[in-house]
Amino acid sequence: MNIEISEEAGVRYLHFGSDWVQGAMRVARPWSLELEYTREMMACLLLRPESEWPGWPKRVLLIGLGAASLTKFLHRQRPSAKLTVVEIAPAVVAVARQHFKLPAEDERLRIVVGDGADYVMKDGRPFDLILVDGFDARARAGVLDTLPFYLNCRARLSERGLLVCNLLNHRKSYQTSLALLREAFDQRALAFPSCDSGNIIAFAARGEPVRQSLEELRASAQALKTATGLNLLPTLTRLEKSSTCGGGVLSL
């Protein structure tokens, strides 16, 4: 894998041998979420808000490391969570450590070099949250966007579990991916409106239902912004303008 690093205006970028940005970090705030789609993936924290689900998520699986943006955010903002990161390319782990301030492994953070699809096939303790953001240099997800993979993710989720997937797809076929997610999760899946970057973030749930009104989501977003600096209020404005929340309620 040809890995390249660029830097502009205080932001460091990760590339896999092309101009395509695979990750980014604002050097002065390495734990912040620089790219819009990474911020939207953290909207899962609004679906199981701290006010209703204190301590959630306790165990998190991240498939795809990239510039370690999601890993660093959760490591800093959810100190009680145990994080497992599965990254297929050893070179990406090395670059994340050297250039993107990946925290050292400890009892809260475990890095596994391996195939995420193989990892979720194994038996093991369930995760409250699985985040999938794995692509090759040509922005292809491969087996990480298949029905067997999504079914295996569901099997590894707890009874309050959520799956969050970056369905980046400039071929406009994200509906195929969403249909697979819905099949795997008994229709309990939805996609947020496309980010300006073209990323589609999808959410799927098992176990305890998700039912949050837009008003409740805004209150949770304001609390999250105050606590972490992450501002998801623009995301909720886009949700309100779309058909994602029927009757003003987001249900999963």
168: CB partners within 8 A, 6+ apart: 37, 135, 139, 141, 198, 199, 200
CA 120 to chain centre: 16
* Cα atoms in the Cβ-side hemisphere of radius 13 Å centred on 194: 12
- 133 belongs to the catalytic site: yes
Catalytic residue among 19, 118, 128, 133: 133
> Is the distance from CB of 202 to CB of 190 less than 8 angstroms?
yes
If one counts every other C-beta atom within 10 angstroms of the C-beta of residue 242, the result is 12
Please list the active-site residues: 133
